[in-house]
Amino acid sequence: MPVLTRDEAQTRVQLLDVQRYTIDLDLTRGDETFDSRTVIRFTVRAPGSSATADTFVELRPARLRSATLDGHPLDTSSLDDNRLPLTGLAPGEHELSVDAAMHYSHTGEGMHRFTDPADGETYTYTQLFMEDVQRVFAAFDQPDLKAVFDLTVTVPEGWQVLANGVTEHLGGGRWRAAATPPISTYLVAVTAGPWHSVRTEHRGLPFGLHCRRSLAPHLDADAEELFAITRACFDRYHEKFDEPYPFDSYDQAFVPEFNAGAMENPGLVTFRDDFVYRSAVTDTERQTRAMVIAHEMAHMWFGNLVTLRWWDDIWLNESFAEYMGYQTLVEATRFTSTWVDFGVARKAWGYDADQRPSTHPVAPEAVDDTASALLNFDGISYAKGASALRQLVVWLGEDSFLAGINTHFARHRFANATLADFIDSLARHTDRDMRSWAASWLRTTGVDTFTPALGGDSNAWTLDVRHSGHRPHRLAIGLYDRDPAEPTRLVARARWERDFPAGGGRTSLNGEGPRPALVLLNDQDYTYAKVRLDPASWDTAVQGLSGLPDPLARAVVWNAARDMVRDGELAPAAYLDAARTHLPHEDDLAIVQGVLAFAGRQITDRYLPAAARPAALSTLTALSRDLLRRTEGGENPGLRLTAVRHFVDAAQHPAALSAWLADDTVPGGPELDPELRWRILTRLAVLGAVDEAAIAAELDRDPSATGREGAARCRAALPDPDAKRRAWESLFIGDELSNYLFTATAVGFWQPEQLDLLRDYVPRYYPDAVALAERRGPAIAAAATRYAFPAHAVTAENLRLGEACLGGADPVPALRRGLADQLDDLRRALRVRGC
């Protein structure tokens, strides 16, 4: 499929002004296709020396029935892949009408259709991001051709339609949505089905929560919490922003088999319905859900009111929403420690992405086409960009930052803007050199590193800080002493804030009195950089990390240890030892979850050689038992749930897990809910302690969509040649699996315990993945690299096969990018093992 290039978009926006889309969708035409009728009213500007101009409209139909331009039929056979030519356009007003049948999707792209196995009800929703509008209706599909959208939808009786504007049921299954303000094509949204809805009103606007009917009890249980967060964020944004919320309603729909966490469609945010919790979750997971709510609401201003002109400025959407989401939760909700979770989990995503060959600037100077742009929705555009903004607020001051934002909104409301526009808005409210800041932080790649060296004696000491990198930083430096009454506990002596100029180099600082036991650079995690500890401070941290009084300080130390493992400077076993020592005393659940995730998924599964893995798993099970003992009295259920999950994942012997499953409870709690039962069953499948009959019985017990995914994961995990063959064929040969069932099967397939059984599948992966991605598109291509890649085959041969694939097989861009990242992680794992 031809992708839209930046040059083509610039040419088209100079030629066209699009006023209005009138769209009529009919979702009653069967299970495979739906009808899409579109009328586009647009104006052609004088094309210069030529009397007429040519352009095209995008469309990917199952069948193009007809197309007329100003009442004159167009040749439908001229449709070239996804482009319908429009030729000989004279200056002035035009009307294009397109009538087509469109395919439903089962990969979360375009118009996704899902039938709930729990009750047989069917639901549809749109995900039109980047270039998927053309899967639903004909469009001039680029973000700077904003228009008004009028939408009418016909659905089966008993269904409800939600859209960007308030919807009205006209009778007979016919629904009409209120016309939108001018928005970009990728932001149009429709959901249809027998939704369960909970509604309220806030500040004169209708608010709604929606999910499929089988999840109704779980949504009802959390509805007040969800509305409370929504109201709190809504009110806080109105305190920050001069521009009021710009749409007529605020619906949040939790939809099945959604690829992303959520999508910021104006007036109708769509979320993955995993956020409707049907099993127990930790408070940190509730915090994550709240952050996503805050993030998507921020997009109503950052992205929807003011939209990027082209995809090189996705940071103007995602980095801002990410920063605002975390900061607004701190200011407006009970979740006041969100920056700890950001530091432990989210920033790690950014650091990892920024050290791969595929890294890119937060704001690249040119993104050539939509396929390239899609690859940049990663840890750099989200986590690194948000980190840069947090550093900017520290450096600039929040008042100046918010004043610049409000100027930006006022200048570009319902229009499009660029990085240069935004920097100009900020520059109006500060004497700081915003253009130099943007050049240093937004136009460059890589991670700066700060390394301390301490000297001196008992009366005075010096701190030399080596800055490797090119960005300016404002850093907090924490000074900590041992508590004389309790040597493993640390007390804060002082916190300095210092500016480190662009260009790197050395900075010397002097201190009075005895040398601190621990000097922590980037205390409070204000900036985006890797930090190291001097030897004496590292020794203190190893002994007293859990005794640091501030969770953000502890997060910075844990991140430093993580980076040292990845860079080959700290033995993976030493990280596990630190976790074993300190996590039983850790109070912040985000830290516990983050450290255990890295210890399990990276250290135990990849960084340690196979011979060392059983001992590492024993360390994790012992640590989990410590956490279980700590929570025996019922306090801190989130910590206990985390301990249970990681005990299950690290178990090497089936006896305890089988007993839990038979009793339907963990001794001392919790009782097993569906998530825990499938988690235990998956681990038992890996260990060869269950069979197909047990999996089928569990699916009978839980016939939900997540039950189907659990069964697929378990079946793929069985250490049986026939089970592996069937799983492989369903992944790579057949195309029947939906995006979620594909992911579940892939997650179950590769297991470190089964390397011998899986050895012959490693060379098969590369040609099969290339063919799959070509057939099924970018969403499945991304899943094939993220979940189906043989990550646990940490061998030079696997690396050689992957490099040969990249060099000669010409994979589609989404697969190429994912493979490049996986192979770089594989190289790192091999280096760590070598160290």
Give yes or no for residue 47 having a pLDDT over 80: no
Mean pLDDT of 61-68: 98
Closest CA to 97 of 137, 125, 46, 128: 137
- Distance CA(330)–CA(398), nearest Å, equals 15
- Distance CA(603)–CA(616), nearest Å, equals 8
- Distance CA(696)–CA(680), nearest Å, equals 15
Question: Phi and psi of 91, rounded to 5°?
Answer: -60, 145
How does the average pLDDT of the chain come out, rounded?
Answer: 96
Give yes or no for residue 674 having a pLDDT over 80: yes
- Residue 30: which pLDDT band, with cuts at 50, 70 and 90? very high
- What is the tens place of the pLDDT at every residue in 729-757? 999 999 999 999 999 999 999 999 999 99
Mean pLDDT of 12-41: 98
Mean pLDDT of 267-294: 98
3 state DSSP class of 355: coil
Which pLDDT score, from 0 to 100, does residue 301 have?
98
The arrangement of strands across the sheet holding 63-69 comes to: 72-73, 63-69, 92-103, 33-44, 16-26, 148-154, 174-177, 167-171
209: Cβ contacts below 8 Å, ≥ 6 apart: 197, 198, 199, 219, 223, 226, 227, 251, 252, 254
Count CB-CB contacts under 10 A for residue 63: 12
Is 774 a residue of the active site? no
Structure tokens at 741: 């069932």
Answer CATH for 306-442 from 1.20.210.10, 3.30.565.10, 3.40.920.10, 1.10.390.10: 1.10.390.10
Which pLDDT score, from 0 to 100, does residue 715 have?
98
Structure tokens at 546: 């859990």
Count CB-CB contacts under 10 A for residue 818: 25
Q: Are strands 122-127 and 110-115 parallel, antiparallel or unpaired?
A: antiparallel
User: Around 444, how many Cα atoms within 13 Å sit in the side-chain half-sphere?
Assistant: 17
Q: What is the CATH number assigned to the segment(s) 448-570?
A: 2.60.40
Looking at residue 527, the DSSP 8-state letter turns out to be S
- Residue 49: which pLDDT band, with cuts at 50, 70 and 90? low
- Distance CA(406)–CA(498), nearest Å, equals 29
| Overall pTM > 0.95 | yes
Q: Which of 257, 264, 296, 698 is catalytic?
A: 296
Q: Which secondary-structure segment (H or E) carries 33?
A: strand 33-44
- Distance CA(406)–CA(710), nearest Å, equals 47
Which pLDDT score, from 0 to 100, does residue 835 have?
86
- Distance CA(189)–CA(151), nearest Å, equals 10
Between the CA of residue 352 and those of 90, 359, 738, what are the distances in Å? 51, 9, 29
Between the CA of residue 710 and those of 393, 457, 685, 696, what are the distances in Å? 44, 61, 11, 11
Which pLDDT score, from 0 to 100, does residue 269 have?
98
Buried b (16+ CB within 10 A) or exposed e, 741-755: bbbbbbbbbbbbbbb
- What is the tens place of the pLDDT at every residue in 296-311? 999 999 999 999 999 9
Which pLDDT score, from 0 to 100, does residue 487 have?
83
Mean pLDDT of 363-377: 92
- What is the tens place of the pLDDT at every residue in 405-448? 999 999 999 999 999 999 999 999 999 999 999 999 999 999 99
The answer to whether 292 touches 325, Cβ cutoff 8 Å, is: yes
Mean pLDDT of 281-298: 98
Mean pLDDT of 78-88: 97
Give yes or no for residue 567 having a pLDDT over 80: yes
Mean pLDDT of 799-823: 96
- Distance CA(127)–CA(263), nearest Å, equals 8
3 state DSSP class of 746: helix
% residues pLDDT > 70 (the chain): 100
- Residue 2: which pLDDT band, with cuts at 50, 70 and 90? confident
Looking at residue 277, the DSSP 8-state letter turns out to be -
31: Cβ contacts below 8 Å, ≥ 6 apart: 104, 113
The answer to whether 674 touches 704, Cβ cutoff 8 Å, is: yes
The answer to whether 353 touches 384, Cβ cutoff 8 Å, is: yes
Output the CA angle 611-616-622, nearest 5 degrees: 145
Q: Which secondary-structure segment (H or E) carries 208?
A: strand 205-211
Residues β-bridged to residue 826: none
- What is the tens place of the pLDDT at every residue in 311-324? 999 999 999 999 99
- What is the tens place of the pLDDT at every residue in 206-252? 999 999 999 999 999 999 999 999 999 999 999 999 999 999 999 99
**480 burial level (CB within 10 Å; 0-12, 13-18, 19+):** buried
Q: Which secondary-structure segment (H or E) carries 16?
A: strand 16-26
The answer to whether 85 touches 126, Cβ cutoff 8 Å, is: no
Buried b (16+ CB within 10 A) or exposed e, 285-311: bbbbbbbbbbbbbbbbbbbbbbbbbbb
Q: For tokens 């979740």, what's the residue?
A: 335
Structure tokens at 464: 């030399």
The answer to whether 505 touches 482, Cβ cutoff 8 Å, is: no
Q: Higher confidence at residue 514 or residue 688?
A: 688
Q: What is the CATH number assigned to the segment(s) 1-184?
A: 2.60.40.1730
Count CB-CB contacts under 10 A for residue 680: 26
Domains 1-184 and 306-442 equal at CATH topology level: no
Mean pLDDT of 440-469: 93
Domain boundaries, given as residue ranges, for the chain: 1-184, 306-442, 448-570
Between the CA of residue 776 and those of 100, 101, 769, 773, 780, what are the distances in Å? 21, 19, 10, 5, 6
Which pLDDT score, from 0 to 100, does residue 548 have?
96
